[in-house]
Amino acid sequence: MSEENTQLPELAGPSLVAADQIFGDRLPLAERYVEHLATSGIERGLIGPREVPRLWERHVLNCAVIEELIEKDAKVVDVGSGAGLPGLCLAIARPDLQITLIEPLERRVIWLTEVVEDLGFDNVGILRSRAEQAVGQVEADYVTARAVSALVGLLDITLPILRGTGQLLALKGKSAADEITKASKKLTRYGAREIEILIAGQDLLEEPTTVVRVSL
């Protein structure tokens, strides 16, 4: 991976404080991951070039803070993993987790495989599949998803993976409440016990992360 002509995003100030608290002694792994995102991730179309200056704040830290919502030693399935957001961020922050990245597109799977091998993860598996076809192939206590679809559509491709017990953690924005309202009938049909809007990283990030948590 070449860094020529590539301006890596700076990690300083509040972001450095947050990253240090989230990743601890695994911060060099997070920095290496960001390096991948800013170079080969751009070259292969997984991340837009304009995102480079805000890779830490808007993407990596935004994803990593949801680790505070996940219990120890849990099995996590990241649906539509793409550039590994949030799956690889969680793998770095929480080596106790067993994480499966589900991604249907071959070029993304190839990139994810290269990054996982380079970072030396032993707690990450990759499954090339559509999420709805992965039911029964993976075990999950939590399913995560970011920028995959609106909640009403996301439920159909995530909740079946939980097989009746566990939690969906969907990273959302200001539309979270509206998305829950639009998905209310489907949530009832799936037997959701609890639907909450949570804020992760409130004490760490200038713009904390909004998460819709659906518990079965």
**Interatomic CA distance for residues 124 and 116, integer angstroms:** 7
pLDDT at 194 over 60: yes
Residue pLDDT, tens place only, 13-70: 889 999 999 999 999 999 999 999 999 999 999 999 999 999 999 999 999 999 999 9
**Interatomic CA distance for residues 158 and 166, integer angstroms:** 11
Complete domains list, the chain, with CATH: 13-215 (3.40.50.150)
**Interatomic CA distance for residues 184 and 93, integer angstroms:** 33
**CA angle (149 as vertex; 145, 155 as ends), nearest 5:** 70
Q: Are 122 and 111 in contact (CB under 8 A)?
A: no
User: What is the reported pLDDT for 1?
Assistant: 40
User: pLDDT-based confidence at 208, cuts 50/70/90?
Assistant: very high
> How many CA atoms, within 13 angstroms, populate the side-chain half-sphere of residue 112?
28
Residue pLDDT, tens place only, 75-114: 999 999 999 999 999 999 999 999 999 999 999 999 999 9
User: What is the reported pLDDT for 130?
Assistant: 94
pLDDT at 3 over 50: no
SS3 for 79-115, per residue?
Answer: ECCCCCCCHHHHHHHCCCCEEEEECCCHHHHHHHHHH
pLDDT at 171 over 90: yes
Residue pLDDT, tens place only, 8-18: 888 888 899 99
| pTM score over 0.75 | yes
Coil/strand/helix, residue 48: coil
Helix runs in the chain, H state only: 13-23, 27-38, 40-43, 61-64, 87-93, 106-119, 151-162, 176-182, 184-189
Q: Are 37 and 55 in contact (CB under 8 A)?
A: yes
User: What is the reported pLDDT for 86?
Assistant: 98
Residue pLDDT, tens place only, 124-163: 999 999 999 999 999 999 999 998 889 999 999 999 999 9
**Interatomic CA distance for residues 186 and 10, integer angstroms:** 43
User: What is the reported pLDDT for 11?
Assistant: 85
Cα Rg for the chain, rounded, in angstroms? 16
Structure tokens given for 49: 């070039």
